[in-house]
């Protein structure tokens, strides 16, 4: 039981990947990495420097300053989860807003950005014992992961979940805007040239539209146990 494996969880936006990935990492005492948080942090950086907005994207300036961006995860002792830090500032709250969600897939489509983040992700997971979620974890970052999960659910189910989550955090958003973001991001993420979101041939697909969080967790845990 001491064998450590790599668990890659990919899938469409708001499929609950991070919820189940966090629970798994706690149960297995593995490191959890939210790769989406890293793309979100780079997007926030680009917004703060006016490199991107609703109708412009200055990729050249972002590329030039990419080396000055320091990304790290630090344990939040109150929640027990790792928070995202951008240049020593905790940005966990800011990166989850709809504004960032509306721009992140544009930033994430860029090979220069991806190259930097994939290198960090590979380094964090090099000793295994990691659960990482994202879009290209099983296809690019850890092609040799022992367990690959591909998560899906209907767009409506996903938009409802994300809407509830943001409202509970006190954000003023409309369901229609969230639904549009979910659908737009899926399209951008699946059609980009570099590392598009696709199910890896050896990934196990789980549609969780009708699964409770508990059912989903138990299902994935049983898949992990088969591998150990």
Q: Contact between 157 and ligand CDP (CB under 6 A)?
A: no
Part of the chain binding ligand CDP (CB under 6 A), chosen from 58-66, 74-82, 135-143, 203-211: 135-143
Residue 71: both structure tokens together: 């990304």
* Residue 222 in tokens: 């049983």
Are the beta carbons of 219 and 211 closer than 8 angstroms? yes
Strands 89-90 and 82-86, how do they pair?
antiparallel
The residue with its CB nearest to ligand CDP is 36
Work out whether 104 is an interface residue with ligand CDP (CB under 6 A).
yes
- Print the binding letters for residues 11-30 with ligand CDP: x by CB under 6 A, - otherwise: --xx---x------------
Residues 6+ positions from 35 with CB-CB distance below 8 Å: 117, 121, 132, 133, 134, 135, 137, 141
Does position 42 bind ligand CDP by CB under 6 A?
A: no
Scanning 52-60, 100-108, 148-156, 207-215 for contacts with ligand CDP by CB under 6 A, the matching segment is 100-108
Distance CA 102, CA 105 (A): 7
Q: What residues form DSSP beta bridges with 207?
A: 152
CB of 92 to ligand CDP, least distance (A): 12
CB of 105 or CB of 208, closer to ligand CDP: 105
Cα atoms found within 13 Å of the Cα of residue 103, Cβ hemisphere only: 24
Binding footprint of ligand CDP on the chain (CB under 6 A):
13-14, 18, 35-36, 39-40, 104-105, 108, 134-137, 185, 189
């Amino acid at each position: 039981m001491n064998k450590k494996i790599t668990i890659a969880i990919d899938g469409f936006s708001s499929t609950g990947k991070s919820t189940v990935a966090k629970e798994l990492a706690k149960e297995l005492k593995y490191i959890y990495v939210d790769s989406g948080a890293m793309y979100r942090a780079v997007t926030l950086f680009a917004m703060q420097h006016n490199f991107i907005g609703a109708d412009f994207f200055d990729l050249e300036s972002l590329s030039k300053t990419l080396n000055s961006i320091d990304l790290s995860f630090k344990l939040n002792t109150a929640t027990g989860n790792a928070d995202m830090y951008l240049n020593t500032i905790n940005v966990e709250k800011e990166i989850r807003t709809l504004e960032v969600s509306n721009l992140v897939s544009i930033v994430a489509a860029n090979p220069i950005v991806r190259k930097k983040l994939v290198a960090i992700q590979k380094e964090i997971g090099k000793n295994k014992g990691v659960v990482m979620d994202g879009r290209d974890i099983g296809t690019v970052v850890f092609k040799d992961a022992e367990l690959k999960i591909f998560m899906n659910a209907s767009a409506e189910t996903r938009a409802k979940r994300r809407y509830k989550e943001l409202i509970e955090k006190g954000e003023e958003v409309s369901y229609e805007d969230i639904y549009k973001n979910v659908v737009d991001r899926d399209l951008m993420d699946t059609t980009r040239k570099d590392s598009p979101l696709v199910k890896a041939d050896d990934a196990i697909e789980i549609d969780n539209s009708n699964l409770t969080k508990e059912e989903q967790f138990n299902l994935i845990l049983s898949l992990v146990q088969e591998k150990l």
